[in-house]
């Protein structure tokens, strides 16, 4: 392991695993070059130097190209599409940079700039993709050792949207929708399923005899069983006899998967014709949960029907369920009925005395 000079710049050379490695020290000062060489010796002993070399040999584009081929390909179609949309912005900022050059400072600057034109949730999706890409590059590919996203805070997302549609709005929406869209709206309002879950639903996952369907792969990666009410059983039986039996329950005219963007576009057009303000297809899922809560259905059941992993996600509907909470306080009267009866008797007596006075 030693130094040699090339065009006035000092280079270091050494043998690693039978191969000769040459790297520039980046300086024309021999003493500084010797100091750098000493530092490299320590890093080699600690096993950190060649991790740094890998991080300098691979660019952000290299990492994300491999990520798309090996990891994104296993995701649902909508998730793959979202990854590609996020990368359209990320490649412009980091594409040619090596992994070693991408620092928390650069990522924080990117976050601040994107905040000017994108919503916090969008920025978080992009930063989350970077974080996952680096994690895979560290654990599986051994391209680097450090994930710069570990020292970058995500944006604060205020998920306070509570838009749900009334029965009157539902009628207007259905009246202004094409028949195929009407079926999907009714289905969403009666199952609370996500857009992607509805689009990817296949006939093999539907059991009309037991009146249930199985969401084979939900957002959290788990299966869940969804019961069907009479309205949906009738809808599915009608579809099964009316359309050519393709794989998908809600399919295009060619019996293929309906494009999510076409569904969104058609829904927005129908909502505009129905004069509904600020409503999205996902709000049908909120409507399903809100109606259950307003009817007094226990929030645990709502959680299971929605496929939420934690109860905290379902708490947003708690303020819609005062009747289910009322049952909890009324039970106190049943525990000590004599106390409650005496109280009401005393109140009645006081009322009579005030009236006679």
CA count, 13 A, side-chain hemisphere, 333: 10
Within 10 angstroms of residue 44's Cβ, the number of other Cβ atoms is 15
Contact 54, 143 (CB under 8 A): yes
Catalytic-residue membership of 317? yes
Q: CA torsion sign, 312 to 190 to 213 to 246?
A: negative
Within 10 angstroms of residue 259's Cβ, the number of other Cβ atoms is 13
Catalytic-residue membership of 282? yes
Please tell me which residue in 131, 195, 285, 291 is annotated as part of the active site.
Answer: 285
Task: Read off φ and ψ for residue 135, nearest 5 degrees.
Answer: -60, -40
Please tell me which residue in 80, 217, 268, 282 is annotated as part of the active site.
Answer: 282
C-alpha distances in Å from residue 302, one per residue of 135, 184, 305, 306, 342: 34, 20, 5, 6, 38
DSSP of 110-173: HHHHHTTTS-HHHHHHHHHHHHHHHHHHHHTS-S-S--GGGGSPPPP----------HHHHHHH
DSSP of 320-341: G-HHHHHHHHHHHHHHSHHHHH
Please tell me which residue in 194, 239, 286, 291 is annotated as part of the active site.
Answer: 194
Closest CA to 187 of 226, 243, 223: 226
Which of the 8 DSSP states describes residue 259?
Answer: P
Q: Round to whole Å and give the CA distance between 137 and 141.
A: 5
- For 192, the 3-state DSSP assignment is coil
H or E element at residue 350: helix 337-356
Please tell me which residue in 219, 224, 280, 316 is annotated as part of the active site.
Answer: 219
Catalytic-residue membership of 308? yes
Catalytic-residue membership of 194? yes
Catalytic-residue membership of 219? yes
Please tell me which residue in 58, 110, 131, 317 is annotated as part of the active site.
Answer: 317
Residue with tokens 């809600």: 250
Within 10 angstroms of residue 39's Cβ, the number of other Cβ atoms is 11
Please tell me which residue in 58, 114, 195, 308 is annotated as part of the active site.
Answer: 308
Contact 351, 344 (CB under 8 A): no
Catalytic-residue membership of 111? no
The catalytic residue positions are 194, 219, 282, 285, 308, 317
């Amino acid at each position: 392991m030693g130094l040699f000079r090339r065009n006035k710049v000092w280079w270091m050379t050494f043998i690693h695993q039978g191969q000769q490695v040459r790297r520039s020290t980046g300086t024309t000062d021999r003493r500084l070059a010797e100091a750098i060489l000493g530092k490299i010796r320590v890093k080699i002993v600690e096993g950190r130097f060649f991790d740094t070399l890998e991080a300098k040999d691979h660019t952000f584009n290299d990492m994300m190209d491999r990520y798309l081929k090996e990891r994104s390909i296993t995701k649902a179609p909508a998730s793959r599409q979202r990854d590609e949309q996020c990368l359209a912005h990320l490649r412009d900022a980091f594409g040619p940079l090596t992994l070693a050059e991408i620092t928390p400072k650069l990522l924080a600057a990117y976050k601040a700039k994107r905040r000017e034109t994108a919503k916090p949730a969008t920025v978080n999706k992009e930063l989350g993709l970077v974080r996952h890409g680096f994690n895979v590059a560290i654990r599986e590919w051994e391209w680097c050792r450090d994930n710069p996203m570990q020292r970058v805070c995500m944006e604060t997302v205020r998920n306070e949207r509570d838009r749900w549609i009334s029965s009157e709005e539902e009628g207007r929406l259905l009246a202004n929708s094409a028949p195929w869209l009407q079926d999907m709206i009714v289905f969403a309002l009666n199952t609370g399923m996500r857009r992607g879950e509805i689009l990817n639903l296949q006939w093999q996952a539907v059991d009309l005899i037991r009146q249930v369907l199985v969401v084979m792969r939900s957002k959290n990666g788990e299966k869940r069983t969804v019961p069907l009410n009479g309205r949906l059983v009738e809808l599915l039986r009608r579809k099964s006899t009316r359309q050519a039996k393709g794989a998908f329950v809600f399919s295009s005219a060619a019996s293929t998967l309906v494009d999510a963007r076409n569904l969104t576009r058609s829904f927005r057009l129908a909502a505009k014709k129905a004069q509904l303000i600020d409503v999205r297809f996902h709000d049908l899922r909120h409507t399903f949960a809100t109606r259950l809560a307003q009817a007094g259905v226990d929030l645990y059941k709502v959680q299971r029907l929605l496929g939420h992993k934690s109860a905290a996600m379902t708490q947003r509907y708690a303020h819609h369920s005062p009747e289910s909470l009322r049952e909890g306080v009324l039970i106190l009267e049943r525990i000590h009925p004599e106390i409650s009866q005496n109280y009401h008797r005393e109140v009645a007596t006081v009322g009579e005395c005030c009236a006679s006075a």
